[in-house]
Amino acid sequence: MLDVLSGKTATVPPVWMMRQAGRYLPEYRATREQAGSFLDLCFSPKLAAEVTFQPIRRFGFDAAILFSDILVVPHALGQTVSFAAGEGPRLAPVVNAENVDRFGTFDLGKLDAVIEAVGLIKAGLPPEVTFLGFCGAPWTVATYMVAGEGTPDQAPARTLAYRDPATFQKLMDALVEASITYLVAQFRAGVDAVQLFDTWGGILPPLEFDRWVIAPAKKIVDGVRSQVPGAKIIAFPRGAGTQLERFVGEVPVDAVGLDWTMDLKFARERIQSKVVVQGNLDPLLLIAGGEALDRGVDAILEAFSGRPFVFNLGHGITPDAPIANVERMLKRVRGA
């Protein structure tokens, strides 16, 4: 995978899946029960390492990704983070114009357990498996910090950014600096490359996309590489659509993730001609299985073959995906 991220074309593309360590695996569910809460699992180095290893043992993916969560960054900025069963994350107090300054100091020490897990994972991974770290992009993390929870339209963060861009900029600046510090720590602890997840980037119109997605991503890439020269970085601005062309023109990442809505012809001609692409199978095809899954895999292989690319999903695998369909996908990709 590192060869592909360096621009080399592989006969068989490297493959991994976003959320590949998760609830669709019985071994993950057993480990999660042992840990207790989701955050307890994230902050238990040995258990976080174990669930990172699980999909590698079962499927032999070409990359392992650190098991953690994007919301450990707000935790290290002083915001209380919890996960309610069946309800998703809760953050308090919500960030607003009156309290934004209290979230400007990032305490990396609060993430010592995550960095310890990185070391354990690096020591235990087969040498041929690329080790990916990650963090959430500032815009996506900010949407949770301002709303205090996940929302369908990210209206609280979007409204604050429109009404009080100076306040929102303070939050984004703090998140940029936190992200740089956190990713550099992951590299120094042993990851080979990192991915920047901007799950909600595509919800913004062009001017706001430039300010809150492109500009912070460029600052993070430049900031990380100033301390880790040559750092391999993948960006995933989900839902960016045609704005992705502008993104890759301005943010010097090594690869860009494509969501499942991305037109393959557009991606090959306008994106893959500039940067390595990663993606973009619809996660629901792993539910459907059968010939529909085969057609989806084949379309991606046909579109991106002959140039460097990483096979992945267009977003995270869902908890109800049958393991047999993951195995079928891998066989199809690898020609087995």
How much is the mean pLDDT over the chain? 97
pLDDT cut 70: percent of the chain above it: 100
- In tens, the pLDDT along 322-334 reads 999 999 999 999 9
Question: What pLDDT band is residue 87 in, cutting at 50, 70 and 90?
Answer: confident
Cα dist. 247→148, 241, 271, 305 in Å? 28, 10, 10, 23
First-to-last alpha carbon distance for the chain, in angstroms, is 19
- In tens, the pLDDT along 176-204 reads 999 999 999 999 999 999 999 999 999 99
Q: Which of 100, 139, 276 is nearest to 218 (CA)?
A: 139
- Give me the active site residues, please: 19, 23, 32, 69, 144
pLDDT of residue 183: 98
Q: Is 9 exposed, middle or buried (0-12, 13-18, 19+ CB in 10 A)?
A: middle
Spatial distance between the Cα atoms of 103 and 95, rounded to a whole number of angstroms: 8
For residues 13 and 333, the answer to whether their CB atoms sit within 8 Å is: yes
pLDDT of residue 48: 98
Q: Where are the domains of the chain?
A: 2-334
One-letter amino acid at 46 equals K
Question: What pLDDT band is residue 84 in, cutting at 50, 70 and 90?
Answer: confident
Average pLDDT over residues 85-111: 94
pLDDT of residue 88: 87
Q: Say which residues have a Cβ less than 8 Å from residue 22's Cβ, sequence separation at least 6.
A: 28, 316, 317, 319
Q: What is the DSSP string of 106-131?
A: --GGGGHHHHHHHHHHHHHS-TTSEE
- In tens, the pLDDT along 292-303 reads 999 999 999 999
Structure tokens at 256: 């860009």
pLDDT of residue 204: 98
pLDDT of residue 75: 98
Q: CATH assignment of 2-334?
A: 3.20.20.210
pTM exceeds 0.85 for this model: yes
